Amino acid sequence: MEDLFELDKKHFIHPTSSIIQQQTDGAKSIMAKGDGIYVTDTNNKEYIDAVSSLWNVNIGHGRTELAEVASEQMKKLAFSSAFSTFSHEPAIRLAKKISELTPQGLNAVFFTSGGSESNDSAVKLSRHYWKIQNKASKRKIISLKRGYHGVAAASTSITGIPEFWDMAGHLMNDFLHAETPYRSTTEKAIESLQSMIEQETADTIAAIFVEPVQGAGGVLIPPADYLEAVREICDFYNILFIADEVITGFGRTGTMFGMENWNVVPDAMTFAKGVTSGYIPMGGVVVSDHIHTVLKEKSKGTLFHGFTYSGHPTAAAVALKNIEIIEKESLVTNAKERGLELQNGFQKIKKESSIVGEVRAIGLIGAIELMQDSATGQPFTPDVGVTPAVINALHERGVISRGVTYDGSNILCFAPPLIITKQEVNELISRISDAILFVQHQLGV
Ligand code: PLP
């Protein structure tokens, strides 16, 4: 048998990875199977998948219903084009279903195969929307620092984490990043947004992109009045408000879509991940009736934008079954209820440990911030490597989580599958507590 670890080193360039580390240490785990909230590697070690892999396996692993529906659809019509005047039933039914689930007035869907494609599509659609109304100067895109929106051409530039820009060497023209309300206030963040708009002038700005909860930035939950204030700014300056619901969509935050927590309706939402729980790639942009009407009435000729796999019939059939499971098993409610238990567990850990600063969660997405001295808020210096140490300790204890060390922060992120039970939340909390206390002891703080 060829050694998978050696083959991995030799042939597989991992996404978002340290190539040097991959070459020296090799893969840490090669996953072989999954069941519920658990995944098992080729050494038969079982882990709690505490970030739902990449914040996406919402219904948990090993759901044969999805495999069956994919198999049936593949046997019937695995693929067929949706270009131009062709269509097929799974994509039509999925577009209708998503229109029913999204807030009122968002009723038309453009499909993609993932989050980056969705955000790139939303950039192009928003510019097109203004251009066909004779406002071609409205091209600029504003998003937030620490926001993550993907790695395709435009989504790389919407992303507000400079490390992702460096790959391309620079940002594309016409992308701007305003202050996030994280470690700040709504007033300051809105002031930053407003002064940027005033400086650039509103007639050059197409859209503002915001994640309801910044995920990859470190699970940053906005203050209660922030998203409403962004809505007001967009209305006042005539700018489209695009919510990136790639992580927050399909139940993650205890509501079907993240924006519902703040009762704010954007002009468009981008989605991916949870729409199929990662069983097959799928994403999209859902737009307001107003945008849809403008596109229908003012577009001249062809909409020159579409992917081979836009509305892929097998992916659409899987998405429909996935959404049916989310609804039938009340997973949105479960996310809310188990999320409160997760939050209580985090509070308990904060009381036990001197290196836990802030803890937060909304539904089943949460974070623990590590600090050298939680009483004074003194941060760890990067040379301590506290976040990788806890991530390693968690790995040893059978928990897969994710650390954010960007810009001096030390944040542990958690987003377990929405099917998690009360007992499993308790088990997760006990392992996290054990790992943090172990590292705290090792550091002698
Ligand atoms: N938007 C957000 C909020 C994300 O978290 C991600 C991925 O993590 C993306 C967009 C990009 O999605 P994808 O990796 O499917 O292209």
pLDDT digits (tens, 9 = 90+) for 306-343: 999 999 999 999 999 999 999 999 999 999 999 999 99
pLDDT at 375 over 70: yes
Domains along the sequence of the chain with CATH: 4-59+330-443 (3.90.1150.10), 65-328 (3.40.640.10)
**Ligand 1 mean position, distance from CA 153 (Å):** 13
Residue type at 159? T
pLDDT tens sequence across 1-14: 579 999 999 999 88
**Ligand 1 mean position, distance from CA 238 (Å):** 27
Q: Which atom of ligand 1 is nearest to the CA of 116?
A: 16
Pairing state between β 366-370 and 411-414? antiparallel
pLDDT at site 109: 98
pLDDT tens sequence across 24-43: 788 889 999 999 999 999 99
Q: Lowest-confidence range among 34-38, 82-86, 101-105, 124-128? A: 82-86
Q: Which atom of ligand 1 is nearest to the CA of 114?
A: 15
Pairing state between β 402-404 and 411-414? antiparallel
Q: Token pair for residue 80?
A: 């067929």
Residue type at 230? V
Task: Indicate the DSSP class of residue 36.
Answer: B
Over the chain, what is the mean pLDDT? 95
**Ligand 1 mean position, distance from CA 115 (Å):** 4
Q: Which atom of ligand 1 is nearest to the CA of 211?
A: 3
Q: Token pair for residue 76?
A: 């019937």
pLDDT at site 1: 59
Task: Name residue 46's beta-bridge partners.
Answer: 40
Residue type at 382? P
Pocket test for ligand 1, best of 51, 219, 221, 246 (most atoms within 8 A of CB): 246
Taking CA 265 as the corner, what is the angle to CA 263 and CA 267, rounded to the nearest 5 degrees? Answer: 170
State the CB neighbour count (10 A cutoff) for residue 302: 9
pLDDT tens sequence across 149-195: 999 999 999 999 988 886 666 789 999 999 999 989 999 999 999 99
pLDDT at site 169: 62
At 238, the pLDDT band (50, 70, 90 cuts) reads very high
Nearest CA to ligand 1 atom 1: 149
Distance CA 246, CA 118 (A): 9
Residue type at 347? Q
Q: Confirm if 416 and 339 have CB atoms less than 8 A apart.
A: no
Q: Confirm if 216 and 407 have CB atoms less than 8 A apart.
A: no
Question: Phi then psi for 165, rounded to 5 degrees?
Answer: -75, -35
**Ligand 1 mean position, distance from CA 373 (Å):** 33
Q: Which atom of ligand 1 is nearest to the CA of 115?
A: 12
Pocket test for ligand 1, best of 159, 164, 247, 285 (most atoms within 8 A of CB): 247
Query: Within 6 Å (CB) of ligand 1, which residues are found?
Result: 54, 114-116, 119, 148-150, 211, 215-216, 244, 246-247, 272
Nearest CA to ligand 1 atom 7: 150
- The more confidently predicted of residues 26 and 123 is 123
